[in-house]
Amino acid sequence: MNEQIPVKNVTPVKVHKPSSGDGGKRHDSRSRIYVRAVQGPLETFRRFFGLIFLALFAVIPWIQYNGKQAVLLDIVEQRFTIFGLTLWPQDLTLLAYIFIVSAFALFFVTTFAGRVWCGFMCPQTTWVYIYTWFEEKIEGPRNKRIKLDARPMDADKFIRKTLKHTAWVAVALLTALTFVGYFTPIGALFINFFTFSTSSWAAFSVLFFAVCTYANAGYMREIMCTHICPYARFQSAMFDKDTFTVSYDAHRGEQRGPRPRKLSHEQVQEKGLGDCIDCNLCVQVCPTGIDIRNGLQYECINCGACIDACNGVMDKMGYPKGLISFTSEERLSGGTTHIIRPKLIGYFIVLLIMVGLLIADIVTRIPLAVDIIRDRNALYRETNDGLIENVYTIKVLNKSQTTQTYTISVEGLPEYRFYGEQEVTVKGGEVFSTPISVATDPYNLEDVVTEIMFTVQTTTIDGDVVTVNEPTKFIYR
């Protein structure tokens, strides 16, 4: 009982958290996070990466394939067209595989490199940076924006605010039109929207997503990352001591504090100071307003802005870079990072398996679906010449992108007569429905219910024979 609990002196860290502001307003000049612009390799890479995904998002719905919009997710028609592939509700397993592959790819990347999806690829982050760019160009850098928001409304402030919000609204509207263009023909959507002749649902969708984009990227910003997005909450389940995250090297940085630039690195260390000069630039450039020196926090989106800011300061001070870097907890504690480890291998194996199943499902997918619906008004009827007749409705779904001709036949019924079209032509991605009837002599029927098979067959442009057999019943009495 005489043993004392060891006490460690910890340097207090100023936490950069938004205050409640007067009246509890979240976005007044005292509570907003004013993100400072930063330059560096990671910032350049993030902008380049973001522009690639932004360009893909904007261009893909305009691409034409076989005279049609290449990517069209038509919810009304329950038909998803992705270049030469058409997905229907019957292809739900294929969509499930796509979502599962995406999920395990995210798990794998998170286990290896932390929350880099949020920092480099998330649409929320990309659009926030777009809105911040307009904000900086119109209202000025961080310090000027703070002063602009703090002063009373005047002509200059009114003009700048009007220009900024006009640009935000324009970006939001273009974003919404492009997004809705994935679900309805985009060319007609743009023309009809600006000529006020679009449908009410399309107009509502565009305005709804425009408001969401404007609110999320213009006002909510870090709130989406820290409070609304579920990824911030469950990402810790994938982290381990070998996960690469944006981290501050406390052993090298402490004891922090200001110092003259003329002092050499060795002289600073002799005074008991670490490399951190407590300039707070790492806090000012953080889009979620955290202080990375407090350690790993769920709000961190691994964008690396603080790395670029800190490396710039280290260059000016003549210190080695890497005080803040992408590193692992294991390395910071003096150990060696283990890149290949059981958790990462497990995610990779599952990812490969799911990708294999997805590819197999696509390769073995039959570009034809047949549905047989019996006539509900009568189980059977007797024709004038004494035959027993059953009436059906056959639906032929052409899942390919080319027009196909199909032949229809019946198996399992002796000496039958077929009434209706036995050869039908169906355009790519469409459904053909036609009533048909089958009749036979009752003396040929041994049971009340006879199992029969409708066979639909076609030959593709590649010469492959596609056959689908759909079972049904022929009823008598």
pLDDT of 248 reads: 94
Task: Answer yes or no: is 115 within a domain.
Answer: no
Statement to judge: residues 67 and 187 lie in one domain: yes
The pLDDT tens digits for 313-331 are 999 998 999 999 999 988 9
Percent of the chain having pLDDT more than 90?
Answer: 53
Mean pLDDT of 361-385: 88
In this structure, what are the phi and psi dihedrals at residue 291, rounded to the nearest 5 degrees? Answer: -105, 110
Statement to judge: residues 77 and 213 lie in one domain: yes
Neighbours of 302 (CB within 10 A): 21
Whether residue 120 contacts residue 49, with contact meaning beta carbons closer than 8 Å, is answered with yes
Task: Answer yes or no: is 131 within a domain.
Answer: yes
**Mean of the per-residue pLDDT values for the chain?**
87
Statement to judge: residues 276 and 203 lie in one domain: no
- Region for residue 259 given its phi and psi (left: phi exceeds 0; alpha: psi -120 to 50; beta: otherwise): beta
Statement to judge: residues 380 and 304 lie in one domain: no
Query: Using CA of residue 257, residue 262, residue 268, residue 274, what is the dihedral sign?
Result: positive
* pLDDT band at residue 3 under the 50/70/90 scheme: low
pLDDT of 285 reads: 93
Domain count, the chain: 3
Q: What angle do CA 246, 247, 253 make, to 5 degrees?
A: 140
* pLDDT band at residue 189 under the 50/70/90 scheme: very high
DSSP for 218-251, written as a single string:
IIITHHIIIII-THHHHGGGT--TT--EEEE-HH
Task: Answer yes or no: is 348 within a domain.
Answer: no
Statement to judge: residues 216 and 249 lie in one domain: no
Task: Answer yes or no: is 67 within a domain.
Answer: yes
The pLDDT tens digits for 415-437 are 899 999 999 999 887 889 999 99
Task: Answer yes or no: is 199 within a domain.
Answer: yes
Task: Out of 208, 237, 266, pick the residue that ends a domain.
Answer: 237
Asked whether residue 184 carries a pLDDT value surpassing 70, the answer given is: yes
Task: Out of 237, 268, 283, pick the residue that ends a domain.
Answer: 237
State pTM to two decimals: 0.79
Amino acid letter, residue 336: T
pLDDT of 78 reads: 80
Whether residue 119 contacts residue 306, with contact meaning beta carbons closer than 8 Å, is answered with no
The most confident of 17-26, 202-211, 378-387, by mean pLDDT:
202-211
Statement to judge: residues 144 and 165 lie in one domain: yes
Task: Out of 219, 237, 255, pick the residue that ends a domain.
Answer: 237
DSSP for 452-476, written as a single string:
EEEEEEEE-TTS-EEEEEEEEEEE-
Sorted by sequence, the CB contacts under 8 Å of residue 152 that are 6+ apart come out as: none
Query: Using CA of residue 267, residue 271, residue 275, residue 278, what is the dihedral sign?
Result: negative
Q: Please give the span between the terminal C-alpha atoms of the chain, in angstroms, as a whole number.
A: 94
Taking the C-alpha atoms of residue 83 and residue 65, their distance in angstroms, rounded to an integer, is 6
Give the burial class of 206: count Cβ atoms within 10 A of its Cβ; 0-12 exposed, 13-18 middle, 19 or more buried.
buried
Taking the C-alpha atoms of residue 375 and residue 394, their distance in angstroms, rounded to an integer, is 11
Taking the C-alpha atoms of residue 106 and residue 358, their distance in angstroms, rounded to an integer, is 17
* pLDDT band at residue 268 under the 50/70/90 scheme: confident
Residue 273 per-residue DSSP state:
-
Statement to judge: residues 316 and 394 lie in one domain: no
Statement to judge: residues 297 and 186 lie in one domain: no
Q: What angle do CA 398, 401, 407 make, to 5 degrees?
A: 35
350: helix, strand or coil: helix
Whether residue 416 contacts residue 445, with contact meaning beta carbons closer than 8 Å, is answered with no
The pLDDT tens digits for 31-82 are 688 999 999 999 999 888 888 999 999 999 999 988 889 999 988 888 888 8
The CATH number of whichever domain residue 422 belongs to comes to 2.60.40.10
Closest CA to 406 of 392, 421, 391: 421
Statement to judge: residues 62 and 181 lie in one domain: yes
Statement to judge: residues 266 and 414 lie in one domain: no
Neighbours of 229 (CB within 10 A): 15
Statement to judge: residues 57 and 194 lie in one domain: yes
Of all helices (H) and strands (E), which one includes residue 439? strand 431-440
Give me the half-sphere count of Cα atoms (radius 13 Å) on the Cβ side of residue 212.
Answer: 13
Give the burial class of 106: count Cβ atoms within 10 A of its Cβ; 0-12 exposed, 13-18 middle, 19 or more buried.
middle
In this structure, what are the phi and psi dihedrals at residue 215, rounded to the nearest 5 degrees? Answer: -70, -45
Task: Answer yes or no: is 469 within a domain.
Answer: yes
Domain containing 188: what range?
A: 39-87+122-237
Statement to judge: residues 194 and 168 lie in one domain: yes
The pLDDT tens digits for 106-158 are 999 999 988 888 888 889 999 999 999 999 999 999 999 999 999 999 999 99
Asked whether residue 396 carries a pLDDT value surpassing 80, the answer given is: yes
Task: Answer yes or no: is 5 within a domain.
Answer: no
Task: Answer yes or no: is 109 within a domain.
Answer: no
